[in-house]
Amino acid sequence: MIIGIDDTDSREGMCTTYLAALLIDELSAFGTLLADPLLIRLNPTIPHKTRGNASVAICIDCADPQAVIEHVVSRVSSFSRLECDTTNPGVAFVMDGEYEQVKQELGAFFRRAVTDVISIDDAKDLAAKLGLEFRTFKNGRGLIGSLAACGAMLNPGWDHTYEYLAYRKQDVWGSSRSVDIGSVYGADRKTYPNTWDSVDFVNDLVVCVPHSPDPVLFGIRGNSKSSVSESAELIISESVERSRIFKTNQGTDMHLLSASSISEIEGMHSYILEGTVQSKAETIRGGHSIFVLEDTFGDTIDCAAFEPTKNFREIIRNLLPGDGVVVYGSVMDGTLNVEKINILSIVEDFEKRNPECPSCGKRMKSAGAGQGYRCKKCGTSATDPELIKLERGLKPGFYEVPPCARRHLAKPLVRSEDSEVPLFPGR
Ligand code: ATP
């Protein structure tokens, strides 16, 4: 049977992946794990999310499904942070005999949950229509993610990566984590580019160790189970209660829809959009840099590189009107939050200078608005300024936010076949 779980945690503690790791260990008393457990990231713009809008799914072969259901529901009930307003757990179960008849609809629901906005009623209606067993707590919003995770398990053909998650012992939850930072840098050096986003070399930050009070000690992301394990084994830290490798849709760009015009763009959705820079980026209070992008129909949208994207803002600030770009990112409140940009073409940049006098060689003076230039001494004149070509300081190609600002779903350039990425940036 497949078990999907979502929305058990709060900002004060817990993590749905921890509950999955705990259940996988406990369920070995009931049966055998049949597939890699899933850590699915859903629409990153959903406001109800605690952190990264994750849900999980487990697939086990068991003799007594009712006993498993009871055990899972009792663990979700006791571990969930039900006192928190925004914690509304949902658990969905798909039995072996139901797979074929629900596969397609749950697969489509999974895709929708990653790209679109779904109501709780929609999820409840689908579970009822498909005749699935499910449990909800409080308003039951977690049913959306739990059904989506089941849909992902039933339709395994999507682009995927892996994350090795190590969990802390319960008696130290909430205290500061003890991880040898040097060992994290060493593990990254050894396994990058098969693992990524463990450290941010440019900003000198460890990214794989969270600071929140949840049970995660560290998480290593990578292309294969062997590379994330190799990296995790090199990390020196406090003792680990348990660990688990999840198959995930992290780092795949699964949230992005192709938009052929700005008019089709909706808030709370994420897009790949081609256009022309209409105005140079303005940097507003807080250090956020925003430029205007225009599509071929003349419609425009604000595109932002927010302060947490650090050095990426330099790229955005170097764009000039007329540059051709493809932007990748989520739209919230009418602004596209740029995760990645492909600069297709750059315009030439010129500085205007007063022309030289052909007689004396000195720079002419302006003869007044719209009246060209004149050399007072020699009486010579010119209509146009001299144009000096400037270095752009920006080349066409792909640029991305640094690891410390990466969205879980965003595909790092190091995974892309179509971009030329320096293999070891900053290393
Ligand atoms: P963590 O990353 O720590 O596990 P979280 O960020 O995953 O926490 P949740 O507590 O799971 O956040 O809250 C997200 C809620 O939004 C869940 O109830 C989930 O079912 C719901 N949800 C997920 N995707 C969508 C969607 N596309 N439309 C509407 N609701 C969604």
Distance in angstroms (rounded) separating the CA atoms of residues 30 and 71 = 10
Residue 423 in domain: no
The residue among 95, 127, 154 that closes a domain is 154
Residue 243 in domain: yes
CA of 86 to the centre of ligand 1 (A): 10
Count of structural domains, the chain: 4
Q: Which residues form the domain of 144?
A: 2-154
Opening angle at CA 235, ends 232 and 240, nearest 5: 75
Q: Considering only CA atoms, which residue is closest to atom 30 of ligand 1?
A: 118
The pLDDT tens digits for 42-62 are 999 998 888 899 999 999 999
Distance in angstroms (rounded) separating the CA atoms of residues 97 and 177 = 44
Is 91 found in the same domain as 29? Answer: yes
Atom of ligand 1 nearest to the CA of 89: 18
Is 104 found in the same domain as 12? Answer: yes
From the number of C-beta atoms within 10 Å of its C-beta (0-12, 13-18, 19+), residue 344 rates as: middle
Is 17 found in the same domain as 70? Answer: yes
pTM: 0.94
Atom of ligand 1 nearest to the CA of 112: 27
Is 238 found in the same domain as 143? Answer: no
The residue among 248, 271, 301 that closes a domain is 248
Residue 331, amino acid: V
**What's the token pair of residue 355?**
């022309």
Residue 49: CB within 6 Å of ligand 1?
yes
Per residue of the chain (427 residues), give pLDDT as tens. Answer: 999 999 998 888 789 999 999 999 999 999 999 999 999 999 999 988 888 999 999 999 999 999 999 999 999 999 889 888 889 999 999 999 999 999 999 999 999 999 999 999 999 999 999 999 999 999 999 999 999 999 999 999 999 999 999 999 999 999 999 999 999 999 999 999 999 999 999 999 999 999 999 999 999 999 999 999 999 999 999 999 999 999 999 999 999 999 999 999 999 999 999 999 999 999 999 999 999 999 999 999 999 999 999 999 999 999 999 999 999 999 999 999 999 999 999 999 999 999 999 999 999 999 999 999 999 999 999 999 999 999 998 999 999 999 999 999 999 999 987 767 666 777 6
Residue 9: CB within 6 Å of ligand 1?
yes
Q: Considering only CA atoms, which residue is closest to atom 27 of ligand 1?
A: 113
Residue 151: CB within 6 Å of ligand 1?
no
Residue 42: CB within 6 Å of ligand 1?
yes
Residue 426 in domain: no
Is 130 found in the same domain as 11? Answer: yes
Is 376 found in the same domain as 325? Answer: no
CB-facing half-sphere around the CA of 175: CA atoms within 13 A:
8
Residue 85: CB within 6 Å of ligand 1?
no
Residue 53: CB within 6 Å of ligand 1?
yes
The residue among 123, 154, 185 that closes a domain is 154
Is 145 found in the same domain as 283? Answer: no
Residue 119: CB within 6 Å of ligand 1?
no
**Ligand 1 pocket, mutate which of 46, 214, 332, 409 (most atoms under 8 A from CB):** 46
Distance in angstroms (rounded) separating the CA atoms of residues 345 and 320 = 11
Atom of ligand 1 nearest to the CA of 51: 6
Is 143 found in the same domain as 274? Answer: no
Residue 344: CB within 6 Å of ligand 1?
no
Residue 19 in domain: yes
Q: What is the 3-state secondary structure (H, E, C) of the chain?
A: CEEEEECCCECCECCHHHHHHHHHHHHCCCEEECCCCEEEECCCCCCCCCCCCEEEEEEEEECCHHHHHHHHHHHHHHHCCCCCCCCCCEEEEECHHHHHHHHHHHHHHHHHHHHCCCCHHHHHHHHHHCCCEEEECCCCCHHHHHHHHHHHHHCCCCCCEEEEEEEECHHHCCCCCCECHHHHHHHHHHHCCCEECCEECCCCEECCCCCCCCCEEEEEEECCHHHHHHHHHCCCECCEEEEEEEEECCCCCCCEEEECCHHHCCCCEEEEEEEEEEEEEEEECCCEEEEEEECCCCCEEEEEECHHHCCHHHHHHCCCCCCEEEEEEEEECCEEEEEEEEEEECCCEEEEECCECCCCCCECEECCCCCCEECCCCCCEECCCEEEEECCCCCCEEEECCHHHCCCCCCCHHHCCCCCCCCCCCC
Is 315 found in the same domain as 214? Answer: no
CA of 53 to the centre of ligand 1 (A): 4
Is 288 found in the same domain as 239? Answer: no
CA of 118 to the centre of ligand 1 (A): 11
Residue 67's CATH number: 3.30.70.2200
